[in-house]
Amino acid sequence: MRNKKAVAILVSGGGSNMVALVDSMLNDPDHPGRPCLVLSNNADAGGLKRAAERGVATAVVDHRPFGSDRAAFEAELVKPILEAGADVVCLAGFMRVLTAGFVSQFEGRMLNIHPSLLPKYKGLHTHARALEAGDARHGCTVHEVTPLLDDGPILGQAEVPVLEGDTPDDLAARVLEQEHRLYPAVLARYLRGERSVLHLG
């Protein structure tokens, strides 16, 4: 397929969602995207090795030398993304809150996956919060990134049942399986211009 769109993926850790995205692009000749870069703020991120094993270019911009100067960090972070010619940026376990200045550079071209059925449980500890609330269903959401945390337009959701006796770790594992299905499916649709919400059971 010609004219594949270049996708940059940002990770901070092991990058299982990154791997799901990369493999979906590499293994499907008709996929509208190609991975152009895996970028991390952590040189020890396992996701970098996993990307390199797949022949995907990698880069590191360590946030620590910048201290609390997020704008300076992001000014460096954006450079490899632009150099790679990324059309779309996917956050996949990137554990830094991005400023409006950074997000605005990729408005309408940046996706994230969040482990809850947004708008429920923005932020952290989503699985424990779902259990504490007594929810019968939990899941994950892929959304466009906007300057407000976990608040952009929803592009896809996948649900899992909350079972009796579940711990946060049990629920997290069940949700992660769905994340690996949902994120690649939404990305492919998004690159084809499809913005309707995809629902996976």
Structure tokens, 51:
């990307």
Catalytic residue, chosen from 114, 127, 138, 143, is: 114
- What is the 3-state composition of the chain as percent helix, strand, coil, each rounded to the nearest 5? 35, 25, 40
Long-range contacts of 95-99 (CB under 8 A, 24+ apart): 95/12, 95/13, 95/41, 96/12, 96/41, 96/63, 97/70, 97/149, 98/74, 98/145, 99/70, 99/71, 99/74, 99/147
63 flagged as catalytic: no
Q: What sign does the dihedral 66-70-72-78 (CA atoms) show?
A: positive
The Cα 60–Cα 182 span in angstroms is 27
Active site members: 114
